[in-house]
A and B are shown apart, each in its own frame.
Chain A
Amino acid sequence: MSQRVSRVNRRRFLGTAAKASAVFAAPMFIPGAVLGKDGGVAANERIALAGLGIGPRGTYVLGCFMEEPVVQFVAIADVRQDRREATKQKAEAKYGPGVKTYRDFREMLPREDIDAVLIATGDRWHTPASVQVARAGKDIYCEKPCSMTIAESQSLADTMRRYGRIYQAGTQRRSVANFIFAKQLCDTGKLGKLTAVHANTLHPGTAHDWLPAQPEPPKEEVDWDLWLGPTPWRPFNQQYVNGGWRGFFDFHGGGILEWGAHTVDLCNWAGTNDERMPTLYEPTPSGCIATYDDGLKLVMRDQDWMGLGTCSVRYEGEDGWVETGDTGRLEFSSGQLRGEQRQFQEEGTSAVSHVKNFLESVKTRRPAHSNAEVVARSHIICHAAYIAWQLGRPLKFDPVSVEFIDDDEANRMRSRPLREPWTI
């Protein structure tokens, strides 16, 4: 765990943000040359998509991609044989034979016919895989959380910038109308000067324990070494592979990051237009209260929400507040604000609009809604909050140098080494 985080970011991190303007359900912009006479998409103009680690969420998101005529799914890499086969079968049912499978994604990346990769592995792989894919010249839609550490967050943003890749984090609520609407209430001053933004997070804790060792399956069935990838070795246990890796420190960034990747991201977007990060982090028993340099509070808490659905956010200003969540419903502080209300159909978990936004970005090269620069910032906030929570003390943070002030232990927790041969 090093103090030496990216120096490049220190200069650029608060520079001009790659802002992406969100709109309500805009139709996707596909250049006309792509469209055939029947309105379909000519085969050679389709976006050739590959999958990397397609489990339950990945299967859903892949389904959203496959609904789009501009997409052609061509390959799947997964360390699990059953998932490779299931994804191949699903894709071939739509596109016909020819979807190739790979156990090791490094064998897939040199393919020049692949334009973009959907990454839906476990969290530990999100940054290292994104970096590898970007270095191979592909665009990326990657599930959240996007990083395991502050240093990974910086490296992710740096790599996407250097390689000019389109990156969309799976923080789809940035493309869901009720969350956009709540943010617009902040932008248009309907709430007055913002005083606090609240993010629905989960209990932060993770465990350092190991599950009991079990016999390792054959590599072709589950490649355990590749499953572990950049994380420290530990004995095999099927529970990890079945999704039970959550809650273990080596594989998981904790409950603040788990939902904060969405909700802290939304709050930073609404509260600062993605331009700033808090400078003070004060842990609470089950979350953290962070404060920006202008006094705006970012409250990360796991309870006392109004029942508007998972991943709720609440924006409070001097003239009123709004709260919303995954149901699409909104609550307001006053009848006057309620008059602003619109009806929203898309649930917060839906990736439909977010996938469309990504595909449009691939074609237009406009930064996607959840581009690497903005999500790196919100992820750093989550990581900083979790570090404060682990240490059990308030931490001051310099957003320019991306360092904690006068706290060596906290600074050491900003990065973790990667198991060889992985680098970011």
Chain B
Amino acid sequence: MSAFRVSIVMLAVAAGVTPCSAQTNSKEVMAKESAELIKILESEQSPLFDKAKACQRLAVVGDKNAVPALVRLLPDETLNLYARFGLEGIRDPAAAQALRNAARELQGRPLAGVLGSLGQIRDEESVALLTEMLNQEDSLIANSAAAALGKIGSTTAAESLQAALAKNARAQTAIADACIVCADALAAAGKNDEANALLDALSQVELPPHVQIAALKGRFAILRDDGQDLLIEQLSSTDDARFNLGLAVMRDMSAEGLAKKLADRLKDLSPSRQALLLLALGDRPEGPLPEMLAAASTSDSPELREAAIRVLAKRGDASAAPILLDAALSEGSFAASAQQGLQTLQGKAVDDAIVARLADANPQAKVVLFDLAGVRRIAAATPLVRQALNDSNAEVKAAALNAFAQLAAVNDMDVLLERASASDAAEAAASRQALRTAVLRLGDQETSTRKLTERLTNATPEYRAYLLELLGQMGGSAALKAVVASANSSDAATKDAATRVLGDWPNADAALALLAIAKNDREAKYQIRALRGYLRIARQLQLPAEERLVMFLTAMDVARRDEEKQLAMDVLTRIPSSETLRIAVSFLDDPTVKAAAADAAVKIAPKVLASDAKTVAAAMQKVAGSDVGAELVDRANQLLGQAQSSGR
């Protein structure tokens, strides 16, 4: 066992912490006033847990009077951090002074923690102290001091860091990181020369490449638009990390004319780098030069061509459509990017170009063009799409059907309804998917519903089940009426399908119909299904609290099986209040639902605790005294403790 662990165990024993007991009185401790919290810290009898929580509360409410008590805890490895919660929060010079004093006395982890706090509060008066610590051999202390100096970010902190950089090899990386943080702070304060000097110092020592890159990035942040030459230097570097830095920097640099400056350089780069550079230029407000883009879009290099296509798709206007269409219809690796770009490129001329290409397209091209017509909702393509619904090429036919789903008007539904009832299973399945897409997209719900409902009568059972499911997905009062009628059908298959659809109805409108089936149907299977559907609405859908409560009470009244009664208890957790807590607890005497009632009660209780601790206490007392399993009893006892302490 480490010394650290020994000290914790000893402290715990001394403080009277029993190793197996949970500490659940945090609310009691944290409700105390500042003076009482200080007393907890000062008392040798106070348990470790109480001291820890008192510190965390003092972080929010403590003042300088708490400083002495908090400082006394700093040497303790367990409570050091808790004490620092308090001390970092107190905005009084006394807290900073106490931390500085403590740093002179401490060592090891507690000292490292205190140094961290001095950095966190950006205590400029501790720079001299931290400079001493920076040169300690213990790298834990040197690293902590460096980080603190970096955060303080003052001129003197920078001087200390710069001086230590070459001297302390063991902490050099930490010091370098602190230099980067410090330089950032100096630049933010307008001290660009000092920031630059600090970053320059980093380039004078041997550091990991990524640290040098970070220092370079810091310089770009200071130089801003004046960093163009430095940028070109990075983009010309053979080092990938520097080139990558250049890509990131050029996206942020606001200088105009950068593309022109880079044009010559571009030619000398490998195709991969040219592609990456083009993409980065594409993200800049001015974009790449048109000639640069044009050359890249016809390049022999697939990756450069792909980059050009992406930039065109992102930035281009309708005039880019021919280039993108050529690429989209090609077999190049960039075809997918071009197709994706054409999905979003704005302009009627793009639509026209797509329709024009359809006129003499081969089957492969038609697949792509129909897809684009559908995604872009190009109404002018509808006649061609409709014509292709019976194309002899299966892929063209499938693409046309998908596009038709996106383009069909309500009057086109009949075409899809016919095809959806086809005897060919594959055709029916594809058409049903298309019909579903079209119906859910179409705004004219009334006509859509009427057309679907008209087909119900003469449909095969299997097709009828599909139509009912679709009506359920659409929702609306007319659809509900049709499905309810089917749910009362004498045909078993129809009834089965319709009751399933009702059980998944997208809103609460189906509640009354489900309740009627639950109460009146002759078959238990449908009663149960309907009641569970009713409970789904009560548990999951949007309802006023009063309505939800009525549904709970109704469900408990109607339910014939324990399973549904237990499920109903969950409804109460959606409407947490003193009333629903009392209702949940009233079911603890019912052996069939007591566990579910207890579960609901412990879920409601935390949400009522702040407003009605008395009811929570009474409820949890009853849960804790019930035979509902150890886990629920434990939770109830925890909540009981909280309720009792809240009530004090």
Contact = CB atoms under 8 A, between A and B. Distances in A.
A and B associate: yes
Interface of A: 1-4, 7-8, 10-12, 16, 18, 21, 23-27, 29, 31-34, 135-137, 158, 161-164, 203, 205, 207-214, 216, 225, 232-235, 285-286, 303-307, 334-336, 338-339, 341-343, 363-367, 392, 408-409, 412-413, 415-421, 423
B479 interface: no
A26 B303 contact: no
B359 interface: no
Residue from A34, A209, A212 having most chain B Cβ neighbours under 10 A: A209
A416 B19 CA distance: 27
Interface string B176-190: 010011001100110
B30 interface: yes
B527 interface: no
Residue from A26, A208, A408, A417 having most chain B Cβ neighbours under 10 A: A417
| Shortest Cβ-Cβ A-B pairs, 10 listed | A137-B210, A335-B443, A208-B26, A32-B303, A210-B23, A420-B113, A31-B272, A420-B112, A365-B247, A1-B89
B440 A29 contact: no
Contacts of B320: none
Contacts of B306: 29
Given A32-B272, A209-B24, A304-B543, 15 more contacts: A7-B185, A10-B188, A21-B314, A23-B344, A27-B337, A33-B303, A163-B210, A164-B213, A164-B245, A307-B506, A336-B443, A338-B443, A365-B248, A365-B251, A423-B144
A210 B53 CA distance: 10
Residue from B109, B116, B147, B314 having most chain A Cβ neighbours under 10 A: B116
Contacts of A7: 153, 185, 188-189
A315 to B, nearest CB: 16
A418 B78 CA distance: 13
Interface in B103-149: 109-110, 112-113, 116-117, 119-122, 140, 143-144, 147
B26 A207 contact: yes
Contacts of B120: 2, 4, 415, 417
A363 B273 CA distance: 11
B184 A162 contact: yes
A2 B506 contact: no
Contacts of A336: 443
Contact of A162 (B214, B251, B314): B214
27 contacts: A4-B120, A8-B184, A11-B188, A18-B252, A29-B306, A31-B303, A33-B270, A164-B213, A208-B53, A209-B23, A213-B21, A216-B5, A225-B4, A232-B81, A233-B8, A235-B19, A306-B506, A338-B441, A339-B441, A364-B279, A365-B251, A366-B251, A366-B279, A417-B113, A419-B113, A421-B109, A423-B119
Contact of B337 (A26, A33, A232, A286): A26
B621 interface: no
B81 A343 contact: no
A411 B25 CA distance: 26
B343 A24 contact: yes
Interface stretch (B56-64, B259-267, B422-430, B487-495): B56-64
Contacts of A211: 22
A100 to B, nearest CB: 20
Interface string B54-92: 001001110000000000000001101110110011010
B91 A3 contact: yes
B113 A235 contact: no
A10 B522 CA distance: 70
Nearest to B542: A304
B147 A423 contact: yes
Nearest to B437: A343
B363 interface: no
A304 B113 CA distance: 46
A87 to B, nearest CB: 25
A412 B86 CA distance: 10
B56 A307 contact: no
A16 to B, nearest CB: 7
A417 B74 CA distance: 13
Contacts of A334: 443
Interface string B11-46: 010000101111111110010000000000000000
A417 B8 CA distance: 20
A255 to B, nearest CB: 11
Contact of B542 (A26, A205, A305): A305
Interface in B307-356: 307, 310, 314, 333, 336-337, 340, 343-344
A116 to B, nearest CB: 13
Residue from B25, B80, B84, B121 having most chain A Cβ neighbours under 10 A: B84
Interface in B532-557: 540-543
B102 interface: no
B541 A306 contact: yes
B472 to A, nearest CB: 13
A209 B26 contact: yes
Nearest to B90: A412
Interface of B: 4-5, 8, 12, 17, 19-27, 30, 49, 52-53, 56, 59-61, 77-78, 80-82, 84-85, 88-89, 91, 109-110, 112-113, 116-117, 119-122, 140, 143-144, 147, 153, 177, 180-181, 184-185, 188-189, 208-211, 213-214, 217-218, 244-245, 247-248, 251-252, 270-272, 275-276, 279-280, 283, 301-303, 306-307, 310, 314, 333, 336-337, 340, 343-344, 375, 437, 440-445, 506-507, 540-543, 574, 606-607, 610, 638
Contacts of A164: 213-214, 217, 244-245, 248
B181 A162 contact: yes
Contacts of B543: 304
Given A1-B60, A8-B184, A29 B307 contact: yes
B116 A137 contact: no
A117 B9 CA distance: 36
Residue from B12, B153, B184, B444 having most chain A Cβ neighbours under 10 A: B184
A212 B84 CA distance: 24
Contacts of A423: 116, 119, 144, 147
B254 to A, nearest CB: 8
Contacts of A421: 109, 112, 140, 143-144
A25 B81 contact: no
A162 B217 contact: yes
Contacts of A29: 279, 306-307, 310, 337
A417 B181 contact: no
B387 to A, nearest CB: 24
Given A31-B272, A32-B271, A213-B17, A417 B116 contact: yes
Given A3-B91, A162-B218, A307 B541 contact: yes
B272 A417 contact: no
A404 to B, nearest CB: 12
A286 B607 contact: yes
B40 to A, nearest CB: 14
A339 B440 CA distance: 8
Given A2-B88, A31-B272, A364-B280, A137 B208 contact: yes
A203 B607 contact: yes
A16 B303 CA distance: 30
A212 B26 contact: no
Given A1-B88, A23-B344, A338-B440, A417 B117 contact: yes
Contacts of A413: 60
B507 A306 contact: yes
A335 B211 contact: no
A232 B336 contact: no
Contact of B607 (A12, A32, A285, A418): A285
B88 A415 contact: yes
Nearest to B27: A208
A134 to B, nearest CB: 9
A29 B248 CA distance: 16
B340 A26 contact: yes
Contacts of A342: 375
A375 B271 CA distance: 34
Given A212-B21, A339-B442, A307 B540 contact: yes
Nearest to A11: B188
